[in-house]
């Protein structure tokens, strides 16, 4: 008796389509440039500073360890490290000109005032720019989590120190501005650091006119 070979096929219901996983490619990543043209020394902890190194006068971290001036990375260091200083769109330099950055933090930092305020020249942002030779942003404005310029939230109840929200706001505002000096900045201050308040502030930030990035 003869036998007939049959191709082995899985039995699928009519109309069934195989669902195979789809692989999505990661976007291109820019790696920190450690070439000879860039001398980034780890200054975050003074004890890690190599012998013989002298901190630059334009540092941004708090004075510590007996150094005569703050030490740290300047915006120009980070621009060069990640190639941001080479970004162009045709003949347009990618410095944020014409764009608006929204930053979300909790509580109010009274050291930052609107660029239209008479006291702006004495604000932390203006002094940061003066120290590092960066032009002031075209516009800087603070709003509450509803998007209004007043009333602003209370200050951080944790008080002054190294771990309060004012430190975070200063870092966010100054280095966003340092990386994109031509961009407008809106600081959206949540009423508190609760998730509900922060998410409300994020929603407000995303819907502000002209905002390109939160």
Q: How far apart are CA 87 and CA 79, in angstroms?
A: 10
Q: Look at residues 71, 77, 183, 164 and name the one whose alpha carbon lies nearest to residue 125.
A: 183
Q: Please check the confidence at residue 57 and state whether its pLDDT lies above 50.
A: no
Confidence of residue 79 (pLDDT cuts 50, 70, 90): confident
Rounded to the nearest 5°, which phi and psi values hold at 27?
A: -70, 160
Q: Residue 49 has what pLDDT?
A: 52
Q: Residue 89 has what pLDDT?
A: 87
Mean pLDDT lowest among 43-57, 85-99, 130-144, 147-161: 43-57
Mean pLDDT of 170-185: 95
Q: Do residues 84 and 75 make contact, with C-beta atoms less than 8 angstroms apart? A: no
Q: How far apart are CA 54 and CA 52, in angstroms?
A: 6
**63 contact partners, CB below 8 Å, separation of at least 6:** 69, 70
Q: How far apart are CA 177 and CA 183, in angstroms?
A: 7
Handedness of CA 40, 163, 103, 118 (dihedral sign): negative
Q: Is the pTM of this model over 0.85?
A: no
pLDDT in tens, 118-162: 999 999 999 999 988 999 999 999 999 999 999 999 999 988 766
Rounded (10°) angle between helices 124-132 and 165-179: 40
């Amino acid at each position: 008796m003869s036998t007939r070979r049959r191709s082995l096929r899985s039995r699928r219901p009519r109309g069934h389509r195989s669902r195979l996983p789809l692989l999505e490619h990661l976007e291109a990543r820019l790696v920190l440039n450690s070439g000879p043209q860039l001398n980034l020394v780890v200054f975050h902890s003074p004890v890690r500073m190599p012998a013989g190194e002298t901190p630059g006068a334009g540092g941004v971290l708090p004075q510590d360890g007996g150094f005569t001036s703050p030490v740290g990375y300047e915006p120009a260091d980070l621009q060069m490290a990640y190639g941001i200083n080479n970004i162009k769109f045709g003949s347009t330099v990618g410095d944020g000109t014409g764009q608006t950055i929204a930053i979300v933090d909790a509580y109010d930092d009274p050291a930052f005032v609107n660029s239209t305020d008479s006291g702006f020249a004495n604000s932390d942002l203006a002094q940061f720019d003066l120290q590092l030779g960066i032009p002031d942003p075209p516009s800087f404005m603070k709003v509450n989590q509803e998007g209004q310029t007043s009333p602003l939230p209370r200050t951080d109840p944790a008080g002054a120190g190294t771990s309060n929200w004012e430190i975070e706001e200063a870092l966010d505002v100054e280095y966003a501005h340092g990386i994109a000096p031509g961009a407008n900045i809106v600081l959206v201050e949540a009423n508190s650091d609760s998730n509900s308040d922060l998410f409300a502030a994020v929603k407000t930030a995303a819907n502000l006119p002209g905002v390109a990035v939160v």
